[in-house]
Structure 1
Amino acid sequence: MDWEGSLSPLFWVLLLVFPVQAIVTRIRWIRIPSILAYIFLGMFLQSSGLLELQDGHAAWLHGMSSLGLFYLMFLSGLEIDLDLLRIRKGANLLRHPVVLGLLAFGGSAGLSYLLGLRMQQIDPSIHAWMMMLILSTTSLGIVMPVLREFGMIRSPYGQTLLTAAFIADLITMLLLSVVSGFYRAGFSWRQASVGLLLPLIVICYQAFVRLRRTRAWRGDGVPEPSFKLQAVFAVLGLYGILTDLTGAEPILGAFLAGLLLAGFRMQEHHPVRQQLEGIGYGFIIPIFFLMVGAQFNLQAFLASPRALEWVPLLLGAAFVVKVLPMAGLFRALGVRMALAGGFLLSSRMTLVVVAASIGIRLGVIPPSLEDALIVVAMLTSLLSPLIFTLGHRTKSA
């Protein structure tokens, strides 16, 4: 079909995303992440010929997909509870969520690098540092909904897992953005200027505090919802421009913009937050995951013995690098809960897809490994919440 210059692919997306989400929501005996369902939907649309991506057809969807990823990173930053990072006076440091999260990430990064060295021995085209970044990631977008579903989001245990996921996402995103820039162009002051993005958060925060005190923000003479949304999008655009100027990955700027706005503690039922999430999760973000599925060539993957060989090795590594470090925290969390938390933190999706695409662009991983990583990301997104749920129910019983 000739979809070039046509909105027909978008119509199919709008038509099918809702029933897919409705079906996933009603399946209660197994937790299937919505993002996984969107990927399968993309694979179906591509294989059925309803979504043709070759020869420039529907090329604008790639732009929508990039926007979806950018917006997803923004909402991920917005989900962070900055109170979790505060170390209060008199607190037991060995049981503080930040300390436990750092220990878990440090152990995970160390194991990931060792496994990356082993993979480099198997295939010299693989760079160990890239595998360390890929395997160290955690899907904050899966960890948070699961913890919220079990009512554990504010418990010390839930805070520990949430902080560990946040630290893993933030550090790997920073390193991925900076190291990839250094790898492409070498050291330059432009690349080093990415460090200015963090103190800029403080400046923007103070500016936003003053803006909230103005009559315009309070709605005097201005349509309040649209004005506040425009202010939020202005911050998002500012950080996107700044990361582009530094040569860093735009997703870093989006995440930091969300982190900035997280400082204002917009609760779940805040009107602006509901509007932001409605725009993202209801429309823009599904397009990103749908395009991931549409671009995944299942037939080529099944026909590639090398890619198939990587799947069990990567799947085992994905669980080992998270479960073992968490098991080492059994004194603070308990054996069962430490292991269950390790399996939940093993879920990966967004950053793995992003890191794999960056790795291909830099030439530090082979294409067969990228396909295998996408499959492993889908498997962990399905298995990790299920294993955590079973472990939690067993404990409750």
Structure 2
Amino acid sequence: MSQPGTLILIMSIAVLAPLLSYGIGRWIPVPLVIFEILLGILIGPDVLGLTHHEEAVDVLSNLGLSMLIFLAGYEIEFAAVRGDTLRRSVSAWAISLAAGLGIAFALTGGAVTKSFVIGTALTSTALGTVLPILRDSGDLKGRFGTVMMAFGTVGEFGPIIAMSLLLSGRNPGRSTVLLAAFAAVTAAAVLWALRPRPPWFADVIARTLHSSAQFAVRFVMLLLAAMLGLAAAFGLDTLLGAFAAGLLTRLVLNGAAPESSELILSKIEAMGFGFLVPIFFIVTGIQFDLDALLHGGRSLLLLPAFVLLFLLVRGLPAYALAPRDLGRRDRTALLLHNATALPLVVAITTIGLDDKVLTAGEAAALVGAGMVSVLVFPLLALRLRRSGQGTKPLPRPMQGSQTW
């Protein structure tokens, strides 16, 4: 199929997926990302064969992943992720990393690079996927939401740091120096973002919010492009730049135009969730190697094993180190939400495939396990918390930005 035809088909899937989510959501809240990936698999080369590799579509898909991580960075509220809760979340992720790398070394027979890929993937939390679900259910507010924000933030940011250090192909010492230099530049940018903006800045934002100029949106895109370019210049993964850009954007907008920040965010979300992010997930489905998964007996067995490892490696430390004021149900829900993984698993396995350290079957098993986690774990967590709070209904999957 020609390039325009491929993009038309992908966008047709992007329109169909919410309709399916809306219909099925009346009975069970299935995250929209699942429909996007499954429909991508359907039109991909292993099923209907309607799409094939297109460079332009790959560029849009990479932009979609960057936008996904950018929005995850924007969601972080510094006031909610500090103090004892932050220390506990960092400790839990450090334990997850040690456990993930140890288990991966045992599974691979000591293959270093492959162990880094698998071990890092096991430590990720799909904060971008979980946040809209928590927001729609009302669980993002209150103590549980604060704790989940802290643990989820570290589960999203930690693997990105680990990717830069362990999967860059460079000496870890050199990678650490480059990461420290990037952190220093980012810290300087944060200090700049915290400074009061001149009055004309807020005035330009207000005057162009509903005009063709759209200064605020253009400024946000400049921040994103600049941080992506900075990460690339330091030889780090561009996802680190996307995450940092999200943090900076929140600080700048809240400081310069707090009354307009929600409207500006809605415009950015419309661009991301309405166009770029669906392309990323649909292309993930198109590139999913279903044949390698189904016809490789070992790969098919690895999928449930990876699902279990997500629970043990990422979820169990979160349960063990959760603040003591959380009850057993909340701690178990925290375990399930933290074990939900997909976007970073896709990114990490892509690195593994590009470096030829993962087989197609192993990558498919990891991504497939991530899909299962997104489909099952948040739903179980919601039902668990609802069962302890009465009969409050589960959220409809189309509310808010459930695209994640």
Q: TM-score, normalised by structure 2?
A: 0.86
> Which residue, out of 268, 274, 280, partners 1:288?
280
Partner Cα separation in structure 2 for residue 143 and residue 31 of structure 1: 13
Q: Is the 8 A contact 2:20 2:35 kept in 1?
A: no
The one-letter amino acid paired with 2:388 is K
Aligned 1:142-181 pairs, distance under 5 A:
142-181=129-168
**Corresponding position: 1:247 with 2:232:** no
> Which residue, out of 80, 96, 100, partners 2:76?
80
Partner Cα separation in structure 2 for residue 343 and residue 267 of structure 1: 35
- Cα distance 1:309–1:334, how it changes in 2: closer, same or farther (>3 A)? same
Deviations 1:347-394 (CA, angstroms, capped at 9, x unpaired): 101000111111223344333211100110100010111110221122
- Cα distance 1:190–1:16, how it changes in 2: closer, same or farther (>3 A)? closer
Deviations 1:104-128 (CA, angstroms, capped at 9, x unpaired): 223322322332232123x858733
Partner Cα separation in structure 2 for residue 345 and residue 152 of structure 1: 14
Structure-1 residue corresponding to 2:398: none
Deviations 1:59-115 (CA, angstroms, capped at 9, x unpaired): 31111111111111111111111111343xxxxxxxx32133123223322322332
**Corresponding position: 1:197 with 2:194:** no
> Which residue, out of 84, 103, 116, partners 1:115?
103
> Which residue, out of 28, 31, 36, partners 1:30?
28
> Which residue, out of 37, 42, 55, partners 2:40?
42
| Mean CA deviation greater in 23-32 or 207-216 | 207-216
Partner Cα separation in structure 2 for residue 142 and residue 16 of structure 1: 19
- Cα distance 1:277–1:360, how it changes in 2: closer, same or farther (>3 A)? same
Q: Is the 8 A contact 2:126 2:341 kept in 1?
A: yes
The one-letter amino acid paired with 1:74 is F
Partner Cα separation in structure 2 for residue 322 and residue 378 of structure 1: 16
How far apart are 1:34 and its partner, in Å? 1.4
Structure-2 residue corresponding to 1:101: 89
Structure-2 residue corresponding to 1:92: none
Structure-1 residue corresponding to 2:394: none
How far apart are 1:217 and its partner, in Å? 4.2
**Corresponding position: 1:10 with 2:2:** no
- Cα distance 1:222–1:82, how it changes in 2: closer, same or farther (>3 A)? same
| Mean CA deviation greater in 347-356 or 320-329 | 320-329
Partner Cα separation in structure 2 for residue 187 and residue 158 of structure 1: 35
Structure-2 residue corresponding to 1:234: 222
> Which residue, out of 189, 212, 220, partners 2:197?
212
How far apart are 1:179 and its partner, in Å? 2.1
Aligned 1:349-360 pairs, distance under 5 A:
349-360=342-353
Structure-1 residue corresponding to 2:59: 63
| Mean CA deviation greater in 324-333 or 64-73 | 324-333
Structure-1 residue corresponding to 2:18: 21
How well do the aligned residues superpose, as a CA RMSD in angstroms?
Answer: 2.5
- Cα distance 1:52–1:188, how it changes in 2: closer, same or farther (>3 A)? same
Q: Which has the higher contact order (CA 8 A, sep 6+)?
A: 2
How far apart are 1:343 and its partner, in Å? 1.1
**Corresponding position: 1:387 with 2:380:** yes
The one-letter amino acid paired with 1:194 is L
**Percent of pairs with identical residues:** 23
Structure-1 residue corresponding to 2:395: none
Partner Cα separation in structure 1 for residue 95 and residue 284 of structure 2: 30
Q: Is the 8 A contact 1:216 1:222 kept in 2?
A: no
- Cα distance 1:35–1:297, how it changes in 2: closer, same or farther (>3 A)? same
Gaps of 5+ in 2: 391-404
Partner Cα separation in structure 2 for residue 329 and residue 190 of structure 1: 30
Deviations 1:243-267 (CA, angstroms, capped at 9, x unpaired): 1111111111111111112224468
Q: Is the 8 A contact 1:82 1:262 kept in 2?
A: no
Structure-1 residue corresponding to 2:313: 321
Structure-1 residue corresponding to 2:265: 273
Partner Cα separation in structure 2 for residue 139 and residue 379 of structure 1: 12
The one-letter amino acid paired with 1:51 is T
Partner Cα separation in structure 1 for residue 148 and residue 260 of structure 2: 20
| Mean CA deviation greater in 153-162 or 327-336 | 327-336
Partner Cα separation in structure 1 for residue 152 and residue 82 of structure 2: 16
The one-letter amino acid paired with 2:38 is F
Partner Cα separation in structure 1 for residue 17 and residue 317 of structure 2: 36
The one-letter amino acid paired with 2:181 is L
- Cα distance 1:104–1:275, how it changes in 2: closer, same or farther (>3 A)? same
Say which SS state the counterpart of residue 63 (structure 1) adopts.
Answer: helix
- Cα distance 1:150–1:63, how it changes in 2: closer, same or farther (>3 A)? same
- Cα distance 1:126–1:235, how it changes in 2: closer, same or farther (>3 A)? closer
Q: TM-score, normalised by structure 1?
A: 0.87
The one-letter amino acid paired with 2:335 is G
Q: Is the 8 A contact 2:88 2:321 kept in 1?
A: yes
